[in-house]
Structures are given as structure tokens and as C-alpha cells.
Amino acid sequence: MFEYSIQKAWEEYHKDMGLGRIAILVGSFNLLFFVIGIFIGVVRPLALAPVVLALVYILMRAKFLKLPVLLQFILAMVPIILSIKLNYLLVGQYDQMAGGFTRLDPFFMKFDQWLFGEPVALVFRSFFEGYPTLTQWVYDFMMLSYFLYFILPIYGAILYYNVLPKKERYYLGRYFASVVIFFNMNFLFYLAIPVTGPQYFLEEKFTRELPFSAFGHALHSWVGNAQTAFIDCFPSGHTGMAVLVGIWLFRLNLVQRFIISPITLGIVFATLALRYHYVLDVVAAFPMALICYALSFLLIPLRSHRWPWKRHYES
């Protein structure tokens, strides 16, 4: 009976926005994170919470499908958001419990040094030297863009949901799949290639405070307090997610692509200017976003829309 429920959840992805397959994917990723913890000597039963949620969804799927589509959409985001937040927390805990993985910052730092002769954050600061008002506005915009990353995946999902015809909202499955694949691949890279970032590894190089207004300082403090992992640099999740959402908006040809483009640029510059990332972190994020977009088609084999919409869809 249970095997039959799994089979139906996998095969009937067009009935539930692909959530059967995504539930299996989320559960598989978290089972992997649980096993990784055991491998490094850290047992975290909480890692299995999304696995339990996936099983509950598969068993209760028939009732879920009777709910209004909007409620399905809202409930669909809950396990995805939970697994993303939980797995980010696990990355930090694994690093801490293992006594700190060996940082690979020296390699990344030397690459920046080869390119610019100094940390890239100092290059940004010197570029705006002598223009205090402009500097504050630019740095505040970069900080705001960096902050908006936290709502970008939800923003993209809401936009896609709103433009889809009611009978075609199952196409959201591929969007959800691309987001889940991206975040979890990103977390696995954090564990495999531990990089702590210039703000910590090169702390002695930064003798001046970042030129924020009170608004910028508040956002900067909030982001810092929300950080629970200190090996979350390679590749840049902020850059990659902004690029991934941008790909979807450009495919849809939505006017919001003209909003997301400057925000994406602001995020890219922020990751470097605000001392969060090295150049290689940002460079690696672009192909990773494209790869995750492509991989989502393997999980949810639906063609993404392209405006103006026809009865055929392009990949």
C-alpha cells in the first residue's frame, strides 16, 4: 500500500504541482544530511524531520489534492522552506561539532590577490573614496539587495503562480524543484569546500567600518545575527539564487525582470564589497544556477513557459 502511494506521488506530478516528487527529493536530501552527520560523528535526528513530512504528505496526498489550489500552493512552500532552513543550520552544526573543518580560504584569497593585489572589498571601497554621500547610498542599496535574497524564491514562486492559467499551475513543480536542488547542492558544496569568507578570514585587513546609514547598519546586523554557518561561501548562494530566479523571470518575460536585474547586480556586488565572498565564490554561482535549472527538468519533465505563451512550451 505504501509503495503504491509512493508510486502514485511520483507518477502523478501533474496533479499536485510536482510535490510528490519534490517531497521524495526533500526527504532524500535530508536522509543524506543525516548520514553525513553520522559519518562525521554527529547524530542529528532533527535532520529526519523533512523525511517524516515527506512520508506524511505521500500518505495524505489524496486529502491534500482536495484543498483549494491557493492553499495547496501555500502549504507546498512550508516543507521546502523548512528543509532549506534546517539544512543550513545542520551545515553550521556539523562544522562546529567536528571541531571546525579545514578552511580553504587561502586558495580563494590568493586568487583575489592575484587579480587585484588586495581583498576585493577594499577595491570597492577605494573606488568610492571621496564621495561619502554616494558611497552611503550605494552601500545601503547593496545591503538591501543582499537582504532581499531571503524572499527571492518566494517572490519568484508567487509571480509564476499568478501568471499561470488555473489548469496549468502544476508547472510550478519545476520551479520548486529547481529551488530545492539549488539550495541542497549549495549546502553540500559548503561541507565539501569549507570557506569562511573575507569578513572572518581577513578580518585584520578591514580596519574601517562599512559606510552604511543607520538603515544599512540595521540590515547588516540582522543578516549577521541570522548566520548560523560559517563555511557558507562556496559557491555564493545569494548570487546563485538571484540568477536562478532571474532565469525564470526572463523565461516568463515578466516586467519584474527589470526589477530583478538591478537587485541581482546589487547582490553580486554586495557579496564582494561587503566582505562576504571571494571572486571565485561568485563566479561558481552562475553555472551552478544554470545546472540546477536544467536538472529540474529531469525531476519534473515539463517545459518552462516563454511569453507570449502558445500551446507549445520551450525548455
Q: How far apart are alpha carbons 177 and 168 in whole angstroms?
A: 16
What is the reported pLDDT for 1?
Answer: 61
Q: Cell numbers at residue 238, please?
A: 545569494
Residues with Cβ < 8 Å from 308, sequence gap 6 or more? 253
How many CA atoms does the CB half-sphere of 222 hold within 13 Å? 12
Residues of the chain with pLDDT under 50: 309-315
SS3 315: coil
What is the reported pLDDT for 182?
Answer: 97
CB burial of 133-150 (b: ≥16 within 10 Å; e: otherwise) equals eebbebbbbbbbbbbbbe
What is the reported pLDDT for 306?
Answer: 63
User: Model's pTM, two decimal places?
Assistant: 0.92
Bond before 153 cis per omega within 30 degrees: no
CB burial of 174-186 (b: ≥16 within 10 Å; e: otherwise) equals bbbbbbbbbbbbb
How many CA atoms does the CB half-sphere of 180 hold within 13 Å? 31
Q: How far apart are alpha carbons 65 and 15 in whole angstroms?
A: 8
What is the reported pLDDT for 292?
Answer: 96
Angle at 305 between CA 302 and CA 310, to 5 degrees: 110
Q: How far apart are alpha carbons 271 and 238 in whole angstroms?
A: 8
The neighbour count for residue 262, using CB atoms within 10 Å, is 11
Q: How far apart are alpha carbons 141 and 266 in whole angstroms?
A: 7
Q: Domain ranges in the chain? A: 1-100, 101-315
